[in-house]
A = this chain, B = another copy of it.
């Protein structure tokens, strides 16, 4: 079954300009143009078509236009699989996050996607639910898909994942954390330092009986780093208790209610996540307590609504968007021009608003 040349006119007419290497093709499915069709249409060779599709400079302006017209006419554009088989590139970057419903990840993902898009890269997304087994499984799938680089959350992953990635020489970077002890490229912020600063801030405002509300440290090294950081800021002159709860508004609310039940003398609550702070607001409201009059509350994340809530939430800003943009850019540079990855520490900062009383 050789390529059709110019015999069998009827067929050619009926099927317009589509190639038909296989004689069957009886299905009604609209055939999509292939590079050969464009070549035939323009009377050029497939090599030339390929050149214009890839922006090679070695093409006359006139032929380029001719080709482009034909492409439009035939509704042609390159098949990614073929191209990637040939070039060994897919322009696809994988991101595995534990969860997307915590808005901080949504912001992050959003920034990644938009940045990748600028250079025609695509984002494939997987959600691990914070489970290392699941993460490996997903990674295997994403790798199988042809992902060229991986964006991972945190630094705690299964050995198997590293072996998988390194065995295939796939670059990966940790995000949302900062740990100078690690040699893996990472782009993130210093969770421990920031939490330390937050607790210190509370201390500077005169609070010495503090409750720290946080999610399950076992589920994420970002949480455990924050807890550790806060812990390190404690000293003998103060009494700070740590309350673990689920990482959502419900968890924050419950933690506060539990705290209030035990007739505490705590004057400030440091929530190591804004959604927890939201829950804390609810818990306090339910108890008829006012913020910051009866209790100070501090958050962590600086989500959009934190400035609108009443009173406005004093919190720590996390550069989620900047982080997303930065990883995306670095990874694309690495892939495109082999530029080395540069671990970068992004700054977070305390945003003073109205939820912490100066006592």
Contacts and interface: CB of A to CB of B under 8 A. Distances in A.
A226 B292 CA distance: 38
A169 B80 contact: no
A338 B79 CA distance: 22
Contacts of A305: 248-250, 275, 278-279, 282
A123 interface: yes
A167 to B, nearest CB: 5
Q: Report the copy number of this chain in the oligomer.
A: 2
A113 interface: yes
A311 to B, nearest CB: 9
A144 B110 contact: no
Contacts of A162: none
Per DSSP, are chain A's interface residues mostly helix, strand or loop, or mixed?
Answer: helix
A308 B113 CA distance: 32
A250 B304 contact: yes
Contacts of A167: 30, 32, 75
B117 A141 contact: yes
A79 B85 contact: yes
Contacts of A100: 100, 106, 109-110, 113
Interface string A302-315: 00110111100000
A308 B280 CA distance: 10
A62 B305 CA distance: 61
8 contacts: A80-B144, A100-B106, A122-B145, A249-B309, A279-B308, A282-B309, A282-B310, A286-B310
